[in-house]
């Protein structure tokens, strides 16, 4: 049997008693890049939150295996320490906590090693430069007053500092202009080179031009209905989800 | 979904709760009579006008009702409060001369160390009298006066007479009258025109005696273009009988002057803290209040800024942390009494374990105070559902040429924010602690470093049980 | 104490005569199970409530000495779209109105009510009203109250609603008239997921004094309330606004929002705001905001640059601020009445 980094098996998830994911299967190997596309309400963000362990999402059936271990019951912080990272579609604003302070605490927790102030600051500065972020953001309150694009960049900054095994990018390209997408894509490529697996959740394919995904999956009504290569994403770009939907309702 | 309850530990009162034996050189009987007032005045060897002032205040006190709004004061039995206790020492200018037990108390509170490291002058009051007062020579050379009120009354009688209880007259309310009758101790600061003091002065008030009252009077005059930062600290050990603190703080900020007044109040939970603080600010002057209320059983404390000069400014930054058995009724009052005055109020409160935090505020704009600006923000964080938190800001506007904004928020720690932090590998407990620290950060960053560190240490969070 | 701020401590009621005019206007057909009658003693038990409204004196007077009002009972699942209109248009022969109203919306029912209080400028009239609403499970009561009495009138109005699970009571209050006006709305969100919106506008001109108090009491879990008030003050008018959000223990996951925005047009106006946020429950979200200031100079400048004179421009800006609230009134004719009255008070005065 092949070894998967992430193995999702017949996953059913409900929120407030409403079933959103209705038997989803997905396998990702180390270093692979997968894309999940789907119309609004198909369950894309639910999948992202469920993988990260949001307490409002209840798994009613199936399981998530990550790095050889079933993680259904794990809390978000344990999952993060195991190497899962979620780039949030709408990152929270947290007043009073600076980006630097937050990330240093986070890095300490994930690596289990105390991060010394000076070397950490150096690392942060380098990563921020890569992303074209102004240094001053390090001492600003976490996401507070950041524009949509700045928040997304800040998510990617966190990803590149925390060096996960699996990075889930939930609509990371939305709210970014063309230049910013390119910069973000470069950062994602960099961690991909470190054998990180990537799961991109999106409903357009702006980011895909740079990322060269191995697989593209179409998610509809809580299930993956079609899997293919990049050509599938292009197809959707041309014909839209409606036709795909029609294709499946005919079956 | 399972929702976790947040538990924030009580403030560690270790060092505050160290009691010394109750020794004194002189104390009055319990309660309040004309004879007691005469005794206090005689003991202090005061001028006649001050004695008369005390007697008149007593009369006002006897005729004023106990306020019925705000916190419940029924547990306060003034007839059983000792109003004056002279510690068994005279005022010293060197810590070496202060009696050992008193000195140790202040050392544990970190006062002499802070003086060496970061202060320009220190005053220390123990029960009713100031036991230590010292100020750096270079400040004396600049003409700054920093001494206890008793010395001020002797050496600068005309100044004291001109300002004393002019801003908070005894007929203001019952406890102002009580203060006028039995006041003792406190600090007097005079900063001459144009002198800017960059390092803070600090007075520390320690009430050691059980069943006693502390009634210190702080009078600060900052002349034109001068600048001062004054820090006030208060604490007392826990007793089973109730103690009373009814101090008065009168601040006079002259034209173009700036005064920052920081208070960290950590009275024990048997204390009724009914303190009155007021500042009057002249043209283009600035008053900045930093106010931390953590201790006491009951607090009623509303520092007031009267902006009477054109372009005067006030800034209030306050945090109130009410835990079990505490009713902290705090807030601020701002009166815009001149054109183009500006004010900002930023208040945060935390309540837990049945604590009751009440923000009560007043913003008044007078008819002639056109071109005023004010923003008021009150945020309350509830840490469980047995606690209580209320917000009552009163806004009175008497002209149209103004720009006023007010907002208030109340709630618990956001689950989404916790999840976000946890998704970065931070544990739930730490995530909550971070959010609470972030909540109070606007206040902690204004505190002197040692207090900021202490406050952060106070916020140690652990989880307790779950709720449905 | 309610009246301390506008100085109405000693108020004596005049003798109440009959109110002889017809005031129940019904257009269209209602199902016959819907009972709308003049108020009678038979319903007294529904008024046996603790509610001081604008003052105990006023509510107890209305309970006893009413001369008008309705009792309306909607049977289960009955929804009536056409509004029940109550037009209290006072005149020389009917200068005193003490209306006492009871609305009971049974489970799943829905009703729209319009109460319009009007009198001619020159007549001295007095209005003292009490309205009690019971919205049972899943019931919806939408009620619009328009107070446009003349400047020689006094108006006192107390309203209370009890809302059960998933029920809704939506108030719209329009305060435009009288030289003294006290108006009090209190809503108990008793049931789970009950809700209430209170949208109001007020216009102070001349020597009008207003004391407006809106209270939302959250008892049920997941209850939602929203108070949104827009006001304008000119001349020597005075207003006291009290908005209270009260979260009782057990009202977890509830949310309450309260906002008041007032535009001040003259240096002689007086505007007091006392927004209170009371909280006994941690798992709630409560917010209030208040702001006060002059008319936005930029907007004024923009309009004047298009050739409007200052008065006309100010009127437009004021109307623009009221519009979001007035737009919630789904009756064109009422919107017109309100805009006409605003215009009259802003321009013609």
User: Which tens digits make up the pLDDT trace of B314-354?
Assistant: 999 999 999 889 999 999 999 999 999 999 999 999 998 89
Q: How confident is the model at residue B463, as a pLDDT?
A: 30
Domains recognised in chain A with CATH numbers: 6-249 (3.40.50.300)
Chain C residues touching B402 at Cβ < 8 A: 264, 292-294
> Average pLDDT of C245-258?
95
Chains A and B touch (3+ CB pairs under 8 A): yes
Contact: A76, B439; criterion CB under 8 Å? no
Statement: residue B402 has pLDDT above 70: yes
For residue B465, the model assigns a pLDDT of 28
Kindly tell me if the per-residue pLDDT of B440 is higher than 70. yes
Contact B423 A55 (CB under 8 A): no
C293 CB within 8 Å of a chain B CB? yes
A243 Cβ contact partners less than 8 Å away, ≥ 6 residues apart: none
Residue B1 has pLDDT above 80, yes or no: no
Instruction: Please state, in angstroms and rounded to a whole number, the distance separating the CA atoms of residues C222 and C218.
Output: 9
Instruction: Measure the CA–CA gap between B90 and B85, rounded to whole angstroms.
Output: 13
Q: Residue A177 corresponds to which tokens in the numbers above?
A: 């202009």
The SS3 of residue A174 is: coil
B408·C278 Cβ contact <8 A: no
Shortest distance between the Cα of C50 and any Cα of chain B, in A, equals: 22
- ipTM, two decimals, is 0.89
Rounded distance between C-alpha atoms, residue B317 and residue B443, angstroms: 6
End-to-end CA distance of chain A: 31
**A16: nearest CA in chain B?**
B1
pLDDT in tens, C137-196: 999 999 999 999 999 999 999 999 999 999 999 999 999 999 999 999 999 999 999 999
Q: At what angle do helices C297-305 and C310-326 cross, to 10 degrees?
A: 120
Flag whether pLDDT at B410 surpasses 50.
Answer: yes
CA dist., res. B62 & res. B55, Å (int)? 11
Tell the residue number behind the tokens 């009202």, with chain if given.
C251
* Chain C residues within an 8 Å CB radius of B409: 285-287
What average pLDDT does this structure show over B96-122? 84
Section A41-67 average pLDDT: 93
Task: Give the nearest partner residue to B397 out of C252, C270, C278, using CB atoms.
Answer: C270
Say if residues B217 and B202 touch (Cβ distance below 8 Å). no
Residues 402-441 of B with CB under 8 A from A: 414-417, 419-428, 430-431, 434-435, 437-441
pLDDT tens digits, B264-317:
888 888 899 999 999 999 999 999 999 988 889 999 999 999 999 999 999 999
Question: Which residue, among C257, C263, C250, has the nearest Cα to C277 in the 3D structure?
Answer: C257
Give the chain A residue whose CA is nearest to the CA of B439: A96
CA A98, A100, A103, A104 torsion: positive or negative? Answer: negative
Contacts of B340 (CB under 8 A, 6+ apart): B310, B311, B370, B371, B372
Q: Give yes or no for A227 touching B (CB within 8 A).
A: no
Instruction: Note whether B397 contacts C277, CB cutoff 8 Å.
Output: no
For residue A2, what pLDDT band results from cuts at 50, 70 and 90?
Answer: low
User: Which member of C252, C266, C276 has the closest CB to residue B400?
Assistant: C266
Contact B437 A97 (CB under 8 A): yes
For chain B, what percent of residues have pLDDT higher than 70? 92
Q: What is the pLDDT of residues A139-162, one digit of tens each?
A: 999 999 999 889 999 999 999 999
pLDDT at B207: 87
Nearest-CB residue to A109 (from B416, B426, B442): B426
**What does the DSSP 8-state code read for residue C43?**
G
Report the alpha-carbon distance of residue A91 to residue B70 in Å, rounded: 41
pLDDT at A248: 67
B468 has pLDDT over 80:
no
Asked if C292 and B397 come within 8 Å (Cβ–Cβ), the reply is: yes
Band of pLDDT at residue A16, cut at 50, 70 and 90: confident
Answer yes or no: is pLDDT of C262 > 60. yes
Chain B residue closest in CA terms to A111: B425
Considering only CA atoms, which of B319, B146, B326 is closest in space to residue B218? Answer: B146
Tokens read off for C250: 């057990």
Closest-CA residue of A relative to B3 is A55
What are C40's strand-pairing partners? none
In the predicted structure, residue B457 carries a pLDDT above the cut 80: no
Q: Pull the structure tokens for residue B311.
A: 């372009």
Tokens of B236: 């007392």
Please determine, for residue B105, whether its predicted confidence score (pLDDT) is greater than 50. yes
The predicted structure's pLDDT at residue A25 = 95
CB contact under 8 A, B400 and C267: yes
pTM of the complete model: 0.86
B419/A110 touch (CB, cutoff 8 Å), yes or no: no
* Residue pair B84/B40 in contact by the 8 Å Cβ criterion: yes
Interface partners of chain A (CB pairs < 8 Å, 3 or more) are B
Higher pLDDT, B342 or B13: B342
Q: Does C291 touch chain B (CB under 8 A)?
A: yes
Residue with tokens 């779209």: C81
Contact C123, C151 (CB under 8 A): no
pLDDT tens figures, B154-182:
999 999 999 999 999 999 999 999 999 99
The token pair that represents B421 in the structure block: 């932090």
Tokens of C181: 């006006």
CB contact under 8 A, C294 and B400: yes
- pLDDT band (50, 70, 90) for residue B456: low
For residue B362, the chain C residue with the least C-alpha distance is: C274
Chain B residue with minimal CA distance to C289? B407
Instruction: Kindly determine whether residue C291 and residue B406, on different chains, have CB atoms separated by under 8 Å.
Output: yes
In this prediction, residues C44-67 reach a mean pLDDT of 93
| Mean pLDDT on A42-51 | 94
Neighbours of B440 (CB within 10 A): 24
pLDDT at residue B14 in the model: 64
pLDDT number for residue A249: 63
- Binned at pLDDT 50, 70 and 90, residue B22 comes out as confident
Whether the predicted pLDDT of B50 surpasses 90: yes
Tell me which of B62-71, B301-310, B313-322, C23-32 is least confident. Answer: C23-32
pLDDT band at B466 (very low <50, low <70, confident <90, very high): very low
- Strands C24-26 and B3-8 come out as unpaired
Q: Do C281 and B406 touch (CB under 8 A)?
A: no
Contact B398 C287 (CB under 8 A): no
> Would an 8 Å CB–CB cutoff place A94 in contact with chain B?
yes
A97 with B430: Cβ contact below 8 A: no
**Is residue B2 scored above 80 in pLDDT?**
no
Q: Scanning the structure block, which residue is given the tokens 């003091």?
A: B197
Tell whether C298 is within 8 A of chain B (Cβ): no
Helix pair B34-44, B48-63: axis angle to 10 deg: 150
Q: Is the pLDDT of residue A96 over 90?
A: no
Comparing C8 with C312, the larger pLDDT belongs to: C312
Query: Among partner residues C269, C277, C282, which is closest to B391 by beta-carbon distance?
Result: C277
Three-class secondary structure of residue B161 per DSSP = helix
Q: Is residue B7 scored above 60 in pLDDT? A: no
Residues of chain B with C-beta less than 8 angstroms from the C-beta of A85: 423
B and C interact (at least 3 Cβ pairs within 8 A)? yes
Q: Is B452 on the interface with A (CB under 8 A)?
A: no
Interface of A with B in 30-69 (CB under 8 A): 52-56, 58
Confidence of residue A232 (pLDDT cuts 50, 70, 90): confident
| pLDDT at residue B467 tops 50 | no
Q: What is the largest CA-CA distance in chain C?
A: 62
Q: What residues contact residue B68 under an 8 Å CB cut-off, 6+ apart?
A: none
Question: With pLDDT > 70 as the criterion, what percentage of chain A qualifies?
Answer: 98
Query: B468 burial class (0-12, 13-18, 19+ CB within 10 angstroms)?
Result: exposed
Of C247, C265, C293, the CB nearest to B404: C293
Task: Please name the chains neighbouring C, where neighbouring means 3+ C-beta pairs under 8 angstroms.
Answer: B
Q: Which helix (H) or strand (E) holds C59?
A: helix C56-65
Give the separation between CA C349 and CA C339, rounded to whole angstroms: 15
**Nearest one of C281, C227, C278, C289 to C253, comparing CA atoms:** C281
Nearest CA in chain A to B416: A92
Put simply, whether C79 touches B (Cβ < 8 Å) is no
**Which run of H or E residues covers position C305?**
helix C297-305
Nearest to B2 among A55, A79, A110 (CB): A55
Q: Do C264 and B397 touch (CB under 8 A)?
A: yes
Interface test with C, best of B5, B400, B467 (most C CBs within 10 A): B400
CB contact under 8 A, B401 and C267: yes
Whether residue A75 and residue B428 make contact (CB cut-off 8 A), yes or no, is yes
Average pLDDT rounded to a whole number, residues C208-220: 97
Scanning the structure block, which residue is given the tokens 């977890």? C252
Q: For the segment C70-128, what is each residue's pLDDT rounded down to a tens digit? A: 999 999 999 999 999 999 999 999 999 999 999 999 999 999 999 999 998 888 999 99
Residues contacting residue C129 through CB under 8 Å, at least 6 positions apart: C62, C69, C97, C98, C99, C100, C101, C117, C156, C157, C158, C159
Q: Do B438 and A94 make contact, defined as CB atoms within 8 angstroms?
A: yes
Nearest CA in chain C to B366: C270
DSSP annotation of C68: B
Query: Which chain B residues have a beta carbon less than 8 Å from that of A88?
Result: 420, 423
Task: Please give the mean pLDDT across all residues of chain B.
Answer: 88
Res. C62 pLDDT band, cuts 50 70 90:
very high
Instruction: Quote the pLDDT of residue B13.
Output: 61
- Give the rounded percent of residues in chain C with a pLDDT score beyond 70: 99
Determine contact: C292 vs chain B, CB below 8 A. yes
Contacts with B400 from chain C: Cβ below 8 Å = 233, 264-267, 269, 294
Taking an 8 Å cut-off on Cβ atoms, the answer to whether B392 and C274 are in contact is yes
């Amino acid at each position: 049997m092949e070894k998967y980094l992430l193995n999702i098996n017949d996953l059913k998830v409900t929120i407030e008693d409403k079933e959103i994911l209705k038997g989803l299967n997905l396998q990702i190997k180390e270093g692979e890049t997968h894309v999940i596309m789907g119309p609004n309400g198909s369950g894309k963000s639910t999948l992202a939150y469920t993988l990260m362990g949001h307490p409002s999402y209840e798994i009613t059936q199936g399981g998530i295996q990550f790095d050889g271990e079933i993680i259904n019951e794990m809390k978000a912080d344990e999952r993060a320490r195991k190497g899962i990272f979620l780039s949030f579609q709408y990152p929270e604003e947290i007043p009073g906590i600076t980006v630097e302070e937050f990330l240093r605490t986070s890095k300490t927790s994930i690596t289990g090693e105390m991060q010394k102030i000076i070397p950490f600051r150096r690392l942060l500065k380098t990563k921020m430069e890569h992303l074209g972020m102004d240094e001053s953001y390090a001492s600003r309150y976490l996401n507070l007053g950041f524009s949509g694009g700045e928040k997304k960049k800040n998510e990617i900054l966190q990803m590149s500092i925390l060096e996960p095994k699996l990075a889930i990018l939930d609509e990371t390209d939305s709210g970014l202009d063309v230049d910013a997408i390119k910069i973000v894509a470069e950062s994602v490529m960099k961690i991909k080179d470190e054998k990180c697996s990537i799961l991109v959740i999106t409903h357009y394919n702006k980011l895909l031009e740079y990322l060269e995904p191995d697989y593209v999956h179409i998610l509809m009504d809580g299930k993956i209905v079609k899997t293919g290569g990049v050509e599938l994403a292009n197809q959707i770009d041309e014909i839209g989800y409606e036709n795909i939907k029609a294709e499946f309702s005919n079956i | 979904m399972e929702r976790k309850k947040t538990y924030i530990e009580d403030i560690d009162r270790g060092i505050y709760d160290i009691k010394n034996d109750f020794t004194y050189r002189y104390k009055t009987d319990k309660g309040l009579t004309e004879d007691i007032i005469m005794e206090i005045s005689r003991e202090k060897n005061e001028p006649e006008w001050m004695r008369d002032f005390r007697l008149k205040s007593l009369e006002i006190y006897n005729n004023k009702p106990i306020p019925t709004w705000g916190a419940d004061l029924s547990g306060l039995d003034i007839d059983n409060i000792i109003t004056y206790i002279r510690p068994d020492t005279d005022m010293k200018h060197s810590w070496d001369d202060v009696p050992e037990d008193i000195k140790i108390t202040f050392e544990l509170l970190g006062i002499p160390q802070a003086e060496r490291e970061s202060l320009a002058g220190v005053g220390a009051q123990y029960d009713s009298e100031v036991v230590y007062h010292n100020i750096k020579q270079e400040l004396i050379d600049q003409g700054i006066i920093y001494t206890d009120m008793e010395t001020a009354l002797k050496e600068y009688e005309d100044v004291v007479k001109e300002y004393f209880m002019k801003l908070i007259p005894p007929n203001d309310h019952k406890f102002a009258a009580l203060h006028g009758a039995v006041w003792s101790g406190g600090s007097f600061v005079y900063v001459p025109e144009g002198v800017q003091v960059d390092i803070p002065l600090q007075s520390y008030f320690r009430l050691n005696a059980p069943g006693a009252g502390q009634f210190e009077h702080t009078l600060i005059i900052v002349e034109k273009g001068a600048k001062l930062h004054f820090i006030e600290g208060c604490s007392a050990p826990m007793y089973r009988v109730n103690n009373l603190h009814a101090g008065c703080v009168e601040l006079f900020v002259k034209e173009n002057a700036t005064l920052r007044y920081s208070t960290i109040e950590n009275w024990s939970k048997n204390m009724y803290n009914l303190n009155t603080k007021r500042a009057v600010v002249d043209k283009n002057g600035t008053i900045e209040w930093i106010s931390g209320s953590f201790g006491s059983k009951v607090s009623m404390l509303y520092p007031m800024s009267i902006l009477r000069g054109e372009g005067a400014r006030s800034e209030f930054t306050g945090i109130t942390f009410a835990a079990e058995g505490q009713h902290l009724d705090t807030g601020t009052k701002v009166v815009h009494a001149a054109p183009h005055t500006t004010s900002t109020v930023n208040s945060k409160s935390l309540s837990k374990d049945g604590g009751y935090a009440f923000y009560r505020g007043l913003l008044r704009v007078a008819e002639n105070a056109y071109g005023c600006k004010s923003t008021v923000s009150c945020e309350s964080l509830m840490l469980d559902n047995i606690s209580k938190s209320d917000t009552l800001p009163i806004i009175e506007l008497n002209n149209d040429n103004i720009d006023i904004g007010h907002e208030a928020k109340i709630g618990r720690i956001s689950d989404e924010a916790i999840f976000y932090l946890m998704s970065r590998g931070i544990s739930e407990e730490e995530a909550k602690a971070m959010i609470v620290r972030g909540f109070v950060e606007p206040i902690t960053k204004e505190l002197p470093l040692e207090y900021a560190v202490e406050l952060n240490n106070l916020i140690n969070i652990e989880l307790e049980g779950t709720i449905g | 104490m309610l009246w301390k701020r506008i100085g109405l401590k000693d108020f004596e009621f005049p003798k109440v005569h009959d109110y002889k005019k017809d005031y129940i206007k019904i257009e269209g057909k209602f199902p016959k199970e819907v009972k709308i009658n003049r108020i009678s003693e038979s319903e007294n038990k529904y008024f046996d409530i603790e509610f001081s409204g604008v003052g105990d004196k006023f509510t107890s007077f209305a309970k006893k000495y009413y001369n008008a009002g309705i009792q309306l009972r909607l049977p289960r699942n009955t929804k009536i779209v056409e509004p029940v209109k109550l037009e209290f248009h006072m005149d020389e022969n009917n200068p005193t109105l003490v209306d006492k109203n009871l609305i009971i919306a049974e489970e799943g029912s829905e009703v729209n009510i319009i109460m319009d209080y009007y009198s001619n400028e020159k007549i001295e009239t007095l209005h003292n009203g009490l309205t009690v609403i019971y919205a049972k499970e899943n019931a919806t009561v939408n009620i619009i109250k328009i107070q446009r009495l003349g400047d020689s009138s006094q108006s006192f109005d107390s309203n209370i609603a009890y809302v059960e699970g998933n029920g809704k009571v939506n108030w719209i209050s329009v305060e435009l008239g009288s030289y003294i006006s006290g108006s009090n709305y209190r809503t108990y969100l008793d049931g789970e997921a009950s809700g209430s919106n209170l949208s109001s506008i007020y216009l102070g001109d001349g020597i009008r004094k207003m004391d407006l108090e809106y209270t939302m009491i959250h008892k049920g879990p997941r209850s939602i309330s929203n108070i949104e008030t827009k006001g304008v003050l000119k001349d020597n008018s005075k207003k006291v606004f009290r908005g209270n959000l009260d979260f009782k223990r057990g009202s977890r996951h509830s949310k309450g929002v309260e906002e008041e925005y007032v535009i001040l047009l003259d240096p002689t106006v007086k505007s007091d705001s006392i927004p209170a946020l009371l909280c006994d429950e941690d798992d709630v979200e409560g917010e209030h905001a208040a702001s006060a200031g002059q008319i936005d100079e930029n907007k004024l400048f923009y309009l004047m640059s298009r050739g409007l004179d200052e008065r006309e421009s100010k009127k437009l800006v004021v109307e623009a601020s009221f519009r979001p609230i007035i737009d919630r009134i789904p009756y064109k004719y009422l919107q017109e009445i309100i805009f006409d009255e605003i215009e009259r008070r802003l321009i013609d005065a």
